[in-house]
Amino acid sequence: MPAAVLAGIGSALPARIVDNHELSTRLDTSDDWIRTRTGITERRISGPGESTADLAVQAGEQALRGRGADAVVLATSTPDQPCPASAPQVAARLGLGTAAAYDVNAVCTGFIYGLATGTGLIAAGIARSVLVIGADTLTTLIDPEDRGTVPIFGDGAGAVLLRAGEPDEPGALGPFDLHSDGGQAGLLWVEAGGCRKRLTDVPAERYLAMQGTAVFREACARMAESSVTVLERAGWLVDNVDRFVGHQANIRILQATAKRLGMPEDAVVSNIHRVGNTSAASIPLALHDAHADGTLIAGHRILLSAFGAGLTWGSTVLSWPELD
């Protein structure tokens, strides 16, 4: 059975930077509060020409570097339209002809679910190469008046190209651990805009509602639990992990999860200070930045773990490959 091997990476961010000082001019908040409670200093906010699909195309182009892909899996909870999925348009704009293309919605865990889906397509012999993109413009779901959510979220995209290879090659993904708990969907959700309740002018219904403290607790517990499971499946000890690339929701969540796992703080990879929580884009953006600045080098053993609305959570591992 072929393994899915990471063979390329790319990222894209909107041009507009909004820092904490700018937010504190229009909301009852401060740079100090946001930095100490979340680790975020600034985030990118999408504008015209920077939709989810626009950002996904830019990140995808970088990951492909002129190569093709048999399938595109776009992890997003903010597609350009409610119907159809955005992945086929992304595939077409990337010049991938009639490649299979579909969206996966597991919100902030979307990229891990997307990797699992891409790995499955390759393992089943359905595709030899899969472009997995995590892209979100989650700020379009945020109430501009809500100081509880505005400081946290940002927009962006990250992408990886997976190719068929051998399980013991550097870059081979897996095993995986994936979970959900729909019984707790109400901790983090948008009430209206779906089929049960169509578009509405009521801010409390059309924007993301978040029970921050409960989400914080669940995120730490679930990411740690899932990381333990996936490390056991991989036969790795915590000490074998060189870098922990978790979903960039809050630096304190990443630090607390690492602590629960008994991992040193310097194993934690984070770019949250400059991008905030970019939902499905968070892990590939963090991987891209860490690769670019040398925090990740070939041979590093990496643990990926995410948590998000749904609730959903999941983890996987890989050894970082040589990439151009």
CB closer to ligand COA, 163 vs 247 = 247
Dist CA 285 CA 55 (whole Å) = 12
Annotated catalytic residue, options 20, 271, 277, 288 = 277
- Our measurement of the distance from residue 195's CA atom to the centroid of its chain's CA atoms, rounded to an integer in Å, reads 26
Provide, rounded to whole angstroms, the least separation between the CB of residue 114 and ligand COA: 16
Residue 194, exposed/middle/buried by CB under 10 A (0-12, 13-18, 19+)? exposed
**Nearest alpha carbon to residue 228 among 313, 166, 287:** 313
Dist CA 172 CA 187 (whole Å) = 34
Annotated catalytic residue, options 105, 108, 288, 300 = 108
Are 212 and 34 in contact by the 8 Å Cβ rule? The answer is no
CB closer to ligand COA, 308 vs 314 = 308
Provide, rounded to whole angstroms, the least separation between the CB of residue 71 and ligand COA: 26
Listed in sequence order, the residues at least 6 apart from 136 whose beta carbon sits closer than 8 Å to its beta carbon are: 52, 76, 77, 78, 110, 155, 156, 157, 278, 279, 280, 281
Dist CA 101 CA 29 (whole Å) = 41
Dist CA 17 CA 10 (whole Å) = 20
CB closer to ligand COA, 72 vs 224 = 224
Provide, rounded to whole angstroms, the least separation between the CB of residue 95 and ligand COA: 33
CB closer to ligand COA, 165 vs 308 = 308
Are 261 and 236 in contact by the 8 Å Cβ rule? The answer is no
Whether 291 sits among the annotated catalytic residues: the reply is no
H/E element, 204:
helix 203-206
Whether 250 sits among the annotated catalytic residues: the reply is no
Q: For residue 153, what is the DSSP state?
A: B
Task: Please report where in the chains the tokens 């359905």 appear, as a residue.
Answer: 126
CB closer to ligand COA, 146 vs 242 = 146
Both structure tokens of 217: 């607790």
Binding residues (CB under 6 A) for ligand COA: these are 29, 33, 37-38, 108, 147-148, 151, 210, 212-213, 215-216, 219, 249-250, 277, 307-308
Q: Are strands 243-246 and 301-308 parallel, antiparallel or unpaired?
A: parallel
Whether 220 sits among the annotated catalytic residues: the reply is no
Provide, rounded to whole angstroms, the least separation between the CB of residue 89 and ligand COA: 26
CB closer to ligand COA, 134 vs 308 = 308
Provide, rounded to whole angstroms, the least separation between the CB of residue 258 and ligand COA: 16
Provide, rounded to whole angstroms, the least separation between the CB of residue 199 and ligand COA: 23
Annotated catalytic residue, options 20, 105, 220, 247 = 247
User: Which residues carry out catalysis?
Assistant: 108, 247, 277
